[in-house]
Amino acid sequence: MAMRYLAASVSVFSAKDDNGKSYAMTASSVTSLTVNPPALLICVNQSAGIHSALRVGSDVCINILSNEQQEISNLCSSTDSETDRFANEFWNQEAVPFLKDAQASIFCSIDQLIPYHSHTIVIAQATSVTNASTFNTLMYADGRYLG
């Protein structure tokens, strides 16, 4: 219950599998890990659809959402809408899928996958970044969006 009071930015974690199928999931468990090399940590439930696409060395993207992107967060957090996640104009899917209007998109290569009970800890090294010029990040705490 106490973790509900830990506010976090809302991100959508995206990837493609070996067959080119795109995956995305909403994640609030994204953390900066190191500056040198620039690396992030993402926790992924092993039952999530994206989990099967994760391989050491594969490319992924962490899309930090802006306040205007609650719809995308909701779309990528429900298993009921998993087949509809990419049936819109939000995405660029040329290589690794990324959100065109994200607050920031951090392109990464997976360095390590560490299983831990029901989840896998993904350590990904950043390879490039795009970001908006002003801070407008979507935040989540206590079961609701803030802002």
Is residue 82 very low, low, confident or very high in pLDDT (cuts 50, 70, 90)? confident
Q: What is the mean pLDDT of residues 113-127?
A: 98
Main-chain phi, psi angles of 140, to 5 degrees: -140, 135
pLDDT of the residue at 86: 94
**74 in helix, strand or coil?**
helix
Q: CA Rg, the chain, in Å?
A: 14
Q: What is the mean pLDDT of residues 16-41?
A: 96
Is residue 106 very low, low, confident or very high in pLDDT (cuts 50, 70, 90)? very high
Distance of CA 138 to the CA centre of its chain: 13
pLDDT of the residue at 80: 83
**51 in helix, strand or coil?**
helix
- Supply the mean pLDDT for the chain: 95
pLDDT of the residue at 66: 97
Q: Which two tokens stand for residue 92?
A: 């660029």
**Is the model's pLDDT at 24 over the cut of 90?**
yes
Q: Which fold has domain 7-142?
A: Pnp Oxidase; Chain A (2.30.110)
Q: What is the mean pLDDT of residues 76-98?
A: 91
pLDDT of the residue at 94: 86
Q: Which of 15-19, 33-37, 62-66, 77-81 has the lowest mean pLDDT?
A: 77-81
Domain spans of the chain, in order of start? 7-142
Alpha carbon distance 123, 108 (integer Å): 9
